[in-house]
Amino acid sequence: MNLRGSLTQLIVIDDPSHVGHARRQVRELAQRHALAEADGERAALLATELASNIIKHAERGALHLRAWPHAEGAVLELLAIDRAQGFDRAACLTDGFSTSGTQGIGLGAIERLADTFDLYSDARGTALLARVHGPRQDRRDLRIGVCQHTLPGETVCGDGWYVAKQEGHLSLLMIDGLGHGEHARTAADAGETAFAQAPYDAPARVVERLHGAMGSTRGGAVAVIQHDAALERLTFAGIGNIGGVLLGRERARGLASMPGIVGGQYRKVQVFDYPQVNDNLLILYSDGLQSRWDLKDYPGLAYRHPALVAAVLHRDFCRGRDDVTIMVIDLEGVHA
């Protein structure tokens, strides 16, 4: 499986008319990725319920949309996020329970319609995930979350990412092209293309290949990660200001990058090994995200779906003055 970076589509929901807009956008996304008509309509109904819940309970929020390529089509991801006061998960999934005087059928219906469903809610707001898998009988879920957005006002993103997965092995790339806009996008494209040629090469060799490919561009920050499930080991090579954290049950470990610009100048590639990582959550992020967050401030979030982790971090810690990419991976669940 190979996944090349793509933007998260964001729809602001702050008016009842946006419910219909969200439904139409999801239906178009389903058609673009060749989902069966029944699955596309199911996704459109999910968009209606998610957007309606935001209007009823939060008045303002956003719907994040993403399509994950699949061997038999695609998986459509819908993620609703808001800043309203949280609620009790168990109670609100019971049909008939309502916090706003409605019939209380929204969340229960969403859970039944979705092939993958999860939510996180606290006093800062709620994030709710629903995925529709192309072939209804195939319910395997990809335990990866990605939130990628452009600098406000831009139409292209200077960040890039790539995921390559095969039996027991995972190889990841994140690039932050220098600056933003078209020139940063050119740098990220060059790096993604070079990475895709041989993603399982030794990390130092991968960085050197990216350096050559990005030499005619303005360059950027790069992080290359490989995970071997059988050896329970992760290797990391980073140049520049891409942040990374391994979150385990007992401790958190930061991933150490070296100074420099790939495609420009750096002193050396240093590869770091991290053992006993299979039960860890991996979080990578470009510098469009503040680095002062701590998941300990969000009890239970680390055990929810990685897509929820990425969306909550984006909601609460996005700088708003640069492109931003957040990738969250359940290193054990991703190989299931």
Alpha-carbon distance of 86 to 106, in angstroms, equals 15
Can you give the pLDDT at residue 139? 64
Can you give the pLDDT at residue 69? 80
> Which domains does the chain show, CATH number per domain?
2-133 (3.30.565.10), 144-335 (3.60.40.10)
Query: Where do we find the tokens 């949309």?
Result: 65
What are 150-201's pLDDT values in tens digits?
Answer: 999 899 999 999 999 998 999 999 999 999 999 999 999 999 999 999 999 9
Residue 217 · residue 185 · CB < 8 Å: no
What Rg value do the Cα atoms of the chain yield, rounded?
Answer: 20
Task: Please state the pTM of the whole predicted model.
Answer: 0.92
Can you give the pLDDT at residue 118? 97
Pairing state of beta strands 159-166 and 125-133?
unpaired
Query: If the chain, 336 residues long, is cut into consecutive pieces of 10 residues, what is the mean pLDDT of each piece?
Result: 91 96 96 92 96 92 92 87 73 49 63 95 96 73 95 93 94 96 97 97 97 97 97 97 94 95 95 96 97 95 97 96 96 86
What are 256-294's pLDDT values in tens digits?
Answer: 999 999 999 999 899 999 999 999 999 999 999 999 999
